Amino acid sequence: MGALAIENYEAYKAGATQLPHIISTTFMGVFVNQGMQLGVSIAMAFFIAKSIRMKKTMKTIIAPAIFNVSEPMTFGLPIVLNPLAFIPWILSPLVSTTISYFAIAVGLVPRPIGATVVWTTPIILSGWIGTGSIAGAILQIVTVIVMTLIWIPFLMAMDREYFKEEQAEKELA
């Protein structure tokens, strides 16, 4: 896929009106999973979560999520061996990739220009750099919203369990 990004970059430098490839390392780094943790953590921390545990966990996840660091969510939520989190963890990137591919294929967003975008580049900026267009940033915002909507029902179920546990602990105290 690196070769495909290089071909796109060479065509971009040459002034081609249509770059040869949609899928490349730039596409994978910019559109597949960018921003998932950020959207989910903001929604849960400030708008949806009722349990103290979920709110604190999600507030902790926000800062690393700005830079696409997923380990605080992976191990803090936890994602590992959690059947409730497994489905959105797999489904969200698939949906994001599909939306991004079709938005580029139909011409709503320019094809990735082959720029090497470091994976820690925050969303919006990485979309803009990766496509050379604000449309790439807007596409990232759309995919973050969609991925967040996929996650919310699963996280709400986890939050309900956490809240019940917290209420039971209060009754025992």
Q: Rounded to an integer, what distance in angstroms lies between the CA atom of residue 39 and that of residue 62?
A: 9
Q: What angle do CA 118, 126, 15 make, to 5 degrees?
A: 100
Q: What share of the chain has pLDDT > 90, as a percent?
A: 86
pLDDT band with cut points at 50, 70 and 90 for residue 45? very high
What integer pLDDT is reported at residue 130 of this predicted model?
A: 96
Q: Taking the model in full, what pTM does it have?
A: 0.91
62-81 exposure pattern, b = at least 16 Cβ within 10 A, e = fewer: bebbeebeeebbbebbebee
pLDDT tens digits along 92-131: 999 999 999 999 999 999 999 999 999 999 999 999 999 9
Q: CA 106, 24, 130, 15: dihedral to nearest 10 degrees?
A: -70
